[in-house]
Structure 1
């Protein structure tokens, strides 16, 4: 409902597209230098989707981003983005400037491989393995000695 207002306040270097089909979103995501994410969510699927397109992430260091993105400063070989520590314009500008300095260090294939770790099939396998491990631990206990 606020699309027109957003278009009016957008700076000349910002193109506001509005709703787009998935194929267009994927195209833009795959061609982007980086995906900037300043929110804090429990998981943040958009971060994983960006990485699945081979796009590195510049993200606020909180919530699910800490699980799904690997900061290249701490993970030089497997980094998929970088974090900024406060939700301020200054912190974001600093992160973007640092990203520009690290531009050649990000590998699209590393980003894709990271995203694959969060695929539904992988989640299902890990979840079933966890349940099986709990089941085995439960049945291997000797309840006679514990007084239960």
Structure 2
């Protein structure tokens, strides 16, 4: 008699998963995480004190995997981006007893303001589809769309699961 709770009466181990189904790659897990979560921490390089990292909570949508932000010119992160477009976005799962066991992704790249009418219209549609409450301020003159053109990312899927 086997002490294995998952063993069959024959004593052979019971397979709990289909070995023919491939395990998602870290890249696939990162894309899924970013696609399912629409808030994150945008990190920019501060004007004052100069050069220090500055993190702020933002909402975003996606355009071909690149985050789109709708941010005000009054915000510190926008002022920072106008001087230096280098930025990162941390997107993390929440909940669970151990927050460090959850998945998280840091996207790194260059942020640029969307100025072409076609780009802004596309960003507006995707942003409002994800964040319908933005319709209350979508036409405010001091807000604009920005796109983080992702150059690299760091995925951490919990303890011991990580890659660039």
TM-score by length of 2: 0.24
| More strand as a share of residues | 2
Greater relative CO, 1 or 2 (CA 8 Å, sep 6+): 2
TM-score by length of 1: 0.26
